[in-house]
Structure 1
Amino acid sequence: MPAKGSNSVTKAFDMLELLGDHAEGISAARAAELTGHPFSTAYRLLGGLVESGYADYDPATKAYTLGMEVFRLGQKVAHRRGFAGSSKDLLQALTTSTGESSILSVRRGNAALTVITVDGPQFRTTTDPGDESPLHTSSLGQALLAHDPNRDRTIDELELEPRTPHSITDPGQLRTRLEQIRETGWAGQSEENDVGMNALAVPVFDLDGRLLAALALAAPVFRRPLDELIEFVPQLKETATAIAARMPR
């Protein structure tokens, strides 16, 4: 991860992003290597993040990780956008009625950022709030990408790297899939993003028709094939409409 900017604020944000990519922790030396900063600069930036609560330092392992202040800010953003505070109960109701895990994601650059998850009664989801999934492999990402007015240009920018042997890696095939999603109103994928998992997603539009997010149900393939998940499309769409109605305008 090369350094993206020269000023101290940009360097600090770059360091935060690096910590986010290394949940297990990273040393100052490794951080310097990956960012291209001198060791003294990396050490100073990490020290400042620790002092402000945006990073934690473990003296035993000499590793830096994201701090709770990042989580606090993330929760504030989610609450401000109406996701965490006013939508969690809707996902909980969806999971209760379907028996499957529900996930709400928003677009962040060329990825789908997980905002809320509610685990099903028999397993936990393969994503957590703050995680990102590729637009071309996840049902959430495909639902978001299908309604991107600049999707052709976005597809050209995507690397289309496979996450599993079932992932779409051909631009033409992806364009065909996105057209199907726009026609049907839902995106379904079977083991394209995670081996052993099916998922079904629908877009969440605000009252003015603008794309806000995507809502998905996820289930292990051994328990519920994609055809059975598709039966939940009406419930997914109903929940998506309810989420949109609660969003601040």
Structure 2
Amino acid sequence: MSKTFEMLELLGDHPDGISAARAAEITGHPFSTAYRLLGGLVESDYASFDPSTKAYTLGMEVFRLAQKVAHRRGLSGATRDLLAELTAATGESSILAVRRGNAALTVLTVDGPQFRTTTDPGDESPLHTSAIGQALLAHDPAAEATIEALEFEARTPNSITDPDQMRRKLEQIRETGWAGQSEENDVGMNALAVPVFDLDGRLLASLALAAPVFRRSLDELVALVPQLTKTAADIAARFPR
């Protein structure tokens, strides 16, 4: 069973598709094993196979289950209208993310009227470079252990790569209640995020607004914090206790 899950993860890492031969090469399994595992996933609709390209991709059953989980956790259907209202009010793209290991997993996005976000549901962002990640990391009870585990690789020339600098920024985030980044995660993009706590004060997610630098400066995004925090509270109110 673990080999099957490994193959599912591999398909998730290759959204444009992967051949059985390449899957065997990456996993180290014999070709016959990789072919059998992929075939089983296709039979159960957890994978799809394109005969013209000989490529395997994730199937609709994975999408169906993901949608069920997202809805159960209040991260998709129950909150999409709130993000849509936030985007309509601010004119900027909104992003909802949760923690997954040492990354921020995007679960929902609503594109602004003039551009689409640089992240899609299912994408992972580094905790130390993205606003959504920094907001999650700042309120992690085990933040110090997480910092020690991070590799602090730079995504842009503005990325924070020094753990002590990150510690100082996280303290600032806790004081202000928001995390902002200017071209730390993607060149040409600013973003600002706030944490989403449930009614018992537990960290659930982070909510962000993202805008290209030519449209809004980081200071201009900061002016939208009241709207962002209100939406975060509205999201929290919809989570089951």
Output the amino acid matched with 2:113.
P
Residue 208 of structure 2: aligned partner: 216
For residue 83 of structure 1, report the CA deviation from its aligned partner: 1.4
Residue in structure 2 matching 1:137, options 121, 129, 132: 129
Q: Does residue 180 of structure 2 align to residue 188 of structure 1? A: yes
For residue 84 of structure 1, report the CA deviation from its aligned partner: 1.1
Give the whole-Å Cα distance in 2 for the aligned partners of 1:95 and 1:44.
45
What secondary structure is seen at the aligned counterpart in 2 of 1:85? coil
For residue 164 of structure 1, report the CA deviation from its aligned partner: 1.1
Equivalent residues in 2 for 1:203-242, closer than 5 Å = 203-242=195-234
Output the amino acid matched with 2:162.
D
Residue in structure 2 matching 1:19, options 11, 35, 41: 11
Give the whole-Å Cα distance in 1 for the aligned partners of 2:153 and 2:22.
25
What secondary structure is seen at the aligned counterpart in 2 of 1:117? strand
Residue 170 of structure 2: aligned partner: 178
Identity %: 80
Give the whole-Å Cα distance in 1 for the aligned partners of 2:77 and 2:53.
36
Give the whole-Å Cα distance in 1 for the aligned partners of 2:159 and 2:48.
36
Q: Does residue 61 of structure 2 align to residue 72 of structure 1? A: no
Output the amino acid matched with 1:210.
R
Unpaired segments of 5 or more residues in structure 2? none
For residue 175 of structure 1, report the CA deviation from its aligned partner: 0.8
Task: Write the deviation string for residues 190-245 of structure 1: whole angstroms up to 9, x where unpaired.
Answer: 11111111000000000000000000000000111111000000110010000000
Output the amino acid matched with 2:31.
F
After the TM superposition, which segments of 4 or more aligned residues of structure 1 sit over 6 Å from their partners? Answer: none
Residue 3 of structure 1: aligned partner: none
Give the whole-Å Cα distance in 2 for the aligned partners of 1:159 and 1:39.
33
Q: Does residue 113 of structure 2 align to residue 121 of structure 1? A: yes
Output the amino acid matched with 1:39.
F
Task: Give the alignment's TM-score, normalised by structure 1.
Answer: 0.95
Q: CA RMSD in A?
A: 0.7
What secondary structure is seen at the aligned counterpart in 2 of 1:204? strand
For residue 119 of structure 1, report the CA deviation from its aligned partner: 0.4
Residue 6 of structure 1: aligned partner: none
Residue 5 of structure 1: aligned partner: none
What secondary structure is seen at the aligned counterpart in 2 of 1:165? coil
Q: Does residue 20 of structure 2 align to residue 28 of structure 1? A: yes
For residue 34 of structure 1, report the CA deviation from its aligned partner: 0.8
Output the amino acid matched with 2:141.
P
